[in-house]
Amino acid sequence: MLAHLHSRRFGYRDPYTRQLRYIKSTTGISFAASTVNGWEEVAFKKLLRPCMPPAIEI
């Protein structure tokens, strides 16, 4: 679901609030935009972790 929301957000320039309104009207399931933003933040941090170089100890 997060991948779908993310691709619609950036691919179609469809903000979360509009998408969440559509999901609620079609399925009856509601999410707060802050919840979805939190999901995206966690996913981004997990994806970024392998890209970060290891810390150098001095």
**C-alpha–C-alpha distance, residues 14 and 16, integer Å:** 7
Domain segments of the chain: what residues?
2-39
Q: What is the mean pLDDT of residues 9-22?
A: 85
Judge whether 42 and 8 are in contact, CB under 8 Å: no
Judged against a pLDDT cut of 80, whether residue 52 lies above it is answered with no
pLDDT for the residue 25: 93
Between 37 and 54, residue with greater pLDDT: 37
pLDDT tens column, 20-49: 999 899 999 998 888 888 888 888 888 777
pLDDT for the residue 26: 92
